[in-house]
Chain A
Amino acid sequence: MLTDGTDNVRFKTFSRRAAILGGAQLLVFGGLASRMYYLQVLKSSEYQMLAEENRVNMRLLAPLRGEILDRFGTVLASNRQNFRVLLIPEQTPDIEETLTKLNRVVPLSETQWKRVLRDARRSPAFLPITVSENLSWAQFAQVNIHEPDLAGIEPDVGETRHYPHGQALAHVVGYVAAVSERDLDDEDPLLKLPGFRIGKSGLERRLDSELRGTAGASHVEVNAYGRVIRELSKDPGTPGSKVVLTLDMDLQKYATERLAGEAAAAVVMDIHTGDVLASVSTPAYDPNDFNVGLSQATWNGLIENPYKPLVNKTIAGQYPPGSTFKMVVAAAAVDSGLVNPNQKVQCTGKITLGNHDFHCWKRRGHGYVNMLDSIMHSCDIYFYEIAKKIGIDRIEEMAHKFGLGETYGYEVPGEKPGLVPSRGWKRATTGAPWQQGETLIAGIGQGYLLATPLQLAVMTSRLANGGKAVKPRLVRSVGEEGRFSSPAEPIGVSDRALALAREGMNRVSNHPRGTAFRARLDEPGMSLAGKTGTAQVRRITRAERESGVLSNEEIEWRRRDHALFVAYAPVEDPRYAVSVVVEHGSSGSRTAAPVARDIMRLVLERDPSNRLAQGSQGPATSQVQPLREG
């Protein structure tokens, strides 16, 4: 049977070599197995990490920005649905055609059109591109109706900040806008979210971190091309804190309307707590515009407007306080002991110091006036005299006690300190020594002196509350946390001095010969005590004085005097202080006082303890005749 004897030999060789081959194969498999062990056991965690990095993408979710409310719960800043249209390039065969169709429903501007095409080229085709934002409900509904015809178009609802009161609160609440390069110092990853808005001014800026909340995150699984496959987990984040202000929105609105058309500011304060009930700076801008993005024309209009709508005049407008400063000088004089308030000074209309004449606003003079008379008449000569007597140092010290020349850590950013001049300040600034003439001018609130409307309100509050160092506060609570200021410390002014100053103010308003008698309040239980101020902006030359000082109506707007008025009420038991500054308003008594009076009336009407003011008497527009005051 065996056909070939050599086959045995061949088989032996074959068997031997088959064993070698089999062994080699097993060895190779051993190698493969150990390689798998190495990758899947020893290196497993490392590769798992790499795999997670590959696949999981964190998408930030913007938290809802905290609302801002007034003291009664009126919404001052909220979030509104932002109806928008998105385009997903990969879902449309022809972007141009889709846009053409969309254009019939929602008109697109040239720039929008170009931007969409550019974005579509630049970003991955599955990422939605914002085509149009802030659509009206009607437009949005139209898009939804036509959606089946609009391949790749997706109606979407986002969130946008909304300021229902627009201009009335622009300077207090501020606005939000897109994140700029500078803001990126803030490490919050939210800032990198496209379309994210942060607070850029006002409370929106100061309380930005509280209002902003913390980012939520959606962990999504993405494939190798970055397309989202599914959501793995979602953390909605923490919405921003709700902020409640001390403001009274109705009052704020009224004051805004009352000052409309002027470059002006008004502050209403609770003299005991410092609560700011109203803080108005006109003209203003609409913060809602900033949210969307201003047009160049709007921006230029704001910048070039001589009434400076972008400046918050309540805290950044610095004005010579004029005659409203006279109470401070009076208090300094009383507490110095160098002046007897009952002693009379003769006002002839002018005094001479060296070879300089100092004039009273009343050319013919007031005759003999004591301290109360001089406040009532706002006699300048009396205050030149007592200022000369007590010196700048005492005036300076007293001004600081009343909160002038200082900032209070007010919640709205941009607070200016004003200026209370001193010998040291003048030497440091100009290098020249203090002149006695400068003391005289300071005595009537002119010269170097500068104060903001907020400072004037604080000054008046401290005067009316019995000399307590009250500070303004605008924020009542942030989230759950109430913000209370500690009880105000005494400022160190004698009751006698305060009482005198207050009585002077009472006469200004309530004495028939007071400069603001016509701007008095005489409804039952309501009365205010005030002080007019007219701050000279230009220098009146000797020639002009001799030929007759031009009236404000005769000169251009920006050279007219500033009109000021500060007041507290009720006279018997003061609770509120108000300050009004009308830039180039010519006359404190004529322009500022009636506004302050009307505001104060509303304040008193709204005061919960005021039972007398009932019925429907709304704050009437002033019928007061123009007064003339210096």
Chain B
Amino acid sequence: MVDAFLNASGREMSLKDKFFEFNWGFLLLVFAIASMGFAMLYSVADGNFDPWASRQAVRFGIGVCVLFVVAFVDIRVWMNLAYPAYGVALALLVGVEFLGFRGMGAQRWIDLGFIQLQPSELMKITLILALARYFHGLTLDQVSRLRFLVAPALMIGVPFYLTLRQPDLGTAMLIAIVGVVLLFMAGLAWRYFIVGGLAALGAIPVAWGMLHDYQKQRVLTFLDPESDPLGSGYHILQSKIALGSGGVFGKGFMEGTQSHLNFLPEKHTDFIFTMLAEELGLVGGLTLLGLYVMVLMFGLTVGLQTRNQFGRLLAIGITVNFFLYIFINTAMVMGLVPVVGVPLPLVSYGGTAMLTLMLGFGFLMSVYIHRNYEITRNPGAFW
């Protein structure tokens, strides 16, 4: 059994090997993106590290440590922990129903004393782990068989329902989409996607009825923001003004008038991309998007280079999750999708999101370091 865990070169990797395998270029990329975030947070505070940039940097530092630790742990350990981790996350998510406290009109957090944990964030990562683990154990034929789809459907459906109940439409959608993408990558037959797509279309009226009024309002406002320029359409309108007025080269660092004069709401969190685009212009915005694309392409490449299905799916899942954050956030501030509370990864101010992302990148790096490991479909306990 033991040689089943050996890598292609036929030996276990030492910590030193792993250190050299670690992709330092990727870390630099992550650092570059986070730095743009620090700069914007510094600008939001009118040229002060307090209160945002400094704390964000500290969190990023902790995040890097987490990334290192997670990356150097053997990928098989993570594979073994996938289900238990998912179980814990699910338990916490259920726990919110009873223990969670209300904040900002939504029940999302669990107060653990030292940190306010947002189980739905944890769920996004553990769901990817669990699904990757599950599909790793299936042959391609089995993936498309209905009886093998019950488990992943529940794995995705239960947390989706629970987060939707909180209510956190944004996270729920992210969980669902990530799950579906993993099904797709695992090789689920096309027919399911066609049938599923048609079913989703049919479900829209039903789903509409289940939405909360404020969520409906957001969607309606999105469709016609000018209808309520000072109310719920205000955010999107001001965001477009700020972004559009930035022009090609922007108004200059710390010179963003709209954001600095508070026309732009939530500028240090969800609307930070607007501020960046206002101050650094099209050039700055595309630069950041370019860096993101590089991360995504790296994730894709990792998936393609990995010799075990768990690693591949994990890499893709994390990449897709990352992609969805970027897409939803930027498309939202550009007025392409309704306003939902999704941060811009590594740039928006926020602790949980930062740690979750670095945790994900840790897994990605672990996959990368151990990409040559071939793992049997049912490896049993690693330790």
Contact = CB atoms under 8 A, between A and B. Distances in A.
Contacts of B240: 39, 47
A25 to B, nearest CB: 6
A39 to B, nearest CB: 4
Given A46-B244, A229-B261, A18 B300 contact: yes
Nearest to A1: B374
A31 B240 CA distance: 16
A598 to B, nearest CB: 69
Contact of B139 (A6, A43, A44, A50): A6
Contact of B282 (A17, A22, A25, A36): A36
Size category, B interface: 35 or more
Given A32-B331, A40-B282, A10 B309 contact: yes
Contact of B261 (A39, A41, A54): A54
B225 interface: no
Contacts of A6: 139-141
B285 to A, nearest CB: 5
A7 interface: yes
Given A1-B374, A33-B289, A41-B248, A223 B297 contact: no
Given A26-B293, A36-B277, A39-B240, A10 B245 contact: no
B296 A25 contact: yes
Interface in B347-383: 374-377
B249 to A, nearest CB: 10
Interface in A417-463: none
SS class of chain B's interface: helix, strand, loop or mixed?
helix
A25 B4 CA distance: 35
A17 B184 contact: yes
Interface string B264-308: 000000000000010001100110010011001100100110001
Contacts of A54: 238, 241, 257-258, 261, 263
B261 A10 contact: no
B10 to A, nearest CB: 8
A7 B316 contact: no
A221 interface: yes
B66 interface: no
Contacts of A43: 244
Given A14-B303, A224-B262, A32 B327 contact: yes
B184 A40 contact: no
B314 interface: no
B241 A40 contact: no
Contact of B140 (A9, A18, A37, A41): A9
Contacts of A224: 261-263
Contact of B187 (A14, A25, A51, A222): A14
Contact of A25 (B285, B323, B331, B334): B323
Contact of A40 (B6, B8, B248, B374): B248
B246 interface: yes
Contact of B334 (A22, A39, A41, A222): A39
Interface in A208-260: 221-225, 229
Contact of B184 (A21, A44, A50): A21
Contacts of B174: none
Contacts of A15: 304
A18 B238 CA distance: 37
Contacts of A31: 336
B85 interface: no
B11 to A, nearest CB: 12
B13 interface: no
Contacts of A1: 3, 6, 8, 374
B244 A39 contact: yes
A13 interface: yes
A28 interface: yes
B285 A18 contact: no
B320 interface: yes
A21 B316 contact: yes
B28 to A, nearest CB: 21
B282 A18 contact: no
21 contacts: A1-B3, A2-B374, A4-B376, A6-B139, A7-B309, A10-B187, A14-B312, A15-B304, A18-B300, A18-B304, A32-B327, A36-B282, A36-B289, A39-B243, A40-B281, A41-B282, A47-B241, A50-B241, A54-B241, A55-B261, A223-B263
Given A18-B303, A36-B243, 9 more contacts: A1-B8, A2-B374, A7-B308, A21-B300, A22-B297, A25-B323, A50-B245, A221-B261, A224-B263
Interface of A: 1-4, 6-7, 9-11, 13-15, 17-18, 21-22, 25-26, 28-29, 31-33, 35-37, 39-41, 43-44, 46-48, 50-51, 54-55, 221-225, 229
Interface of B: 3-4, 6, 8, 139-141, 181, 184-187, 238, 240-248, 257-258, 261-263, 277, 281-282, 285-286, 289, 292-293, 296-297, 300, 303-304, 308-309, 312-313, 316, 320, 323, 327, 330-331, 334, 336, 374-377
The 9 closest A-B pairs by CB, nearest first: A47-B244, A51-B245, A223-B261, A3-B376, A13-B187, A40-B282, A39-B244, A47-B245, A224-B262
